[in-house]
């Protein structure tokens, strides 16, 4: 009897089976990634800062979020503030001990918060915005000058037109 059983095992080749379906716990497997997950509803964006499992385990979706480590509200509130909440204790764990991959938007937030050095993209955005503002100012000045010129012309032409109505 006993011999028979052993021979059965040899037929199924258990090692090969294990290699085919590799069972892992997503939480402890590979390199997790931290990113923004869009929550909220129509016309009202609201983001959660979430930790997702290794990309080898499939794409990010709501069901496989490992942990929520913060929120980001992109719409400014009444006092013109954008509120960001970050669980720095857990972020330190995922970044420091698990070497998580961090997406660029989160890197930007972390840079602004003073935890990380400021992300280059923030600098680029700032530069672009400044250029835009300068451009608008120039345009406004030019428009004002044009309007003044037009006014003067109208006044002078008006003076002439009153003397010669037709």
Partner 1 sequence: MFKFKPKISALARISSEIRFSSQWIKASSSSNEDINVEKLFVDQEVQKLLTDLTEIDLEHKVFRPRRTSIQQRSHFALMTEERLEKTRERMREEARRFLQFVPVKEPREESVQILAQDSELKDFDTSKFVFTDITFDATDQDRTVVVREPDGTLRTANPEEHDRMNRTYYQKPNRPVNAPALFADPYLQNALDKNEHEFVLDWACWFYEPDDPSYIRLSQLVFDRINESGKFHVITSTRHFGPFTFFLALNDNIPKLLNYFGGLGRLADCANLVRLQKAVRPDWRVTIAQGDSDEKIVKDFIKQNARFRDHIGDLQAFISTGKVKSEHEAEKHFGLRERLGRVDKRRVRITSGNIRGNEGPLGELSDEYSVKVVKSEGTGGSDGAEKKEEGRGRGRWRSRDQNTDDKKKE
Q: Which is nearer to partner 1, 63 or 117 (CB)?
A: 117
| Residue 19 binds partner 1 (CB under 8 A) | no
HSE-up of 52 (CA within 13 Å, CB side)?
Answer: 21
Separation of alpha carbons 138 and 44, rounded Å = 34
| Residue 87 binds partner 1 (CB under 8 A) | yes
Provide CB contacts within 8 A for 90, sequence distance 6+: 67, 69
| Residue 57 binds partner 1 (CB under 8 A) | no
Of 32-40, 78-86, 137-145, 148-156, the window that binds partner 1 (rule: CB under 8 A) is 78-86
Tell the residue number behind the tokens 């006092």, with chain if given: 79
Q: In what order do the strands lie in the sheet with 101-102?
A: 67-72, 44-52, 33-41, 101-102
Least distance from partner 1 to the Cβ atom of residue 118, Å: 6
Provide CB contacts within 8 A for 56, sequence distance 6+: 29, 30
| # chain residues binding partner 1, by CB under 8 A | 30
Q: Which is nearer to partner 1, 14 or 117 (CB)?
A: 117
Q: Quote the crossing angle between the two packed helices 120-163 and 104-113, to the nearest 10°.
A: 90
Q: Which is nearer to partner 1, 29 or 46 (CB)?
A: 46
Of 19-27, 56-64, 70-78, 151-159, the window that binds partner 1 (rule: CB under 8 A) is 70-78
What does the binding site for partner 1 look like in residue numbers (CB under 8 A)?
70, 76, 78-90, 92, 109, 112-116, 118, 122-123, 125-126, 129-130, 133
């Amino acid at each position: 009897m006993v011999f028979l059983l052993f021979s059965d095992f040899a037929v199924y080749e258990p090692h090969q089976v294990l290699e085919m379906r590799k069972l892992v716990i997503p939480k402890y497997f590979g390199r997790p990634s931290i990113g923004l997950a869009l929550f909220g509803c129509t016309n009202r964006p609201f983001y959660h800062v979430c930790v997702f499992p290794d990309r080898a385990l499939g794409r990010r979706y709501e069901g496989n979020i490992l942990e929520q480590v913060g929120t980001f509200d992109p719409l400014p509130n009444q006092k013109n503030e954008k509120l960001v909440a970050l669980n720095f204790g857990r972020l330190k764990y995922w970044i420091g001990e698990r070497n998580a991959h961090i997406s660029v938007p989160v890197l930007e937030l972390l840079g602004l918060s003073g935890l990380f050095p400021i992300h280059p993209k923030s600098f680029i955005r700032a530069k672009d915005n400044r250029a835009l503002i300068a451009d608008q100012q120039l345009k406004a000045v030019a428009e004002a000058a044009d309007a003044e010129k037009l006014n003067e012309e109208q006044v002078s032409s008006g003076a002439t037109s009153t003397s010669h109505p037709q």
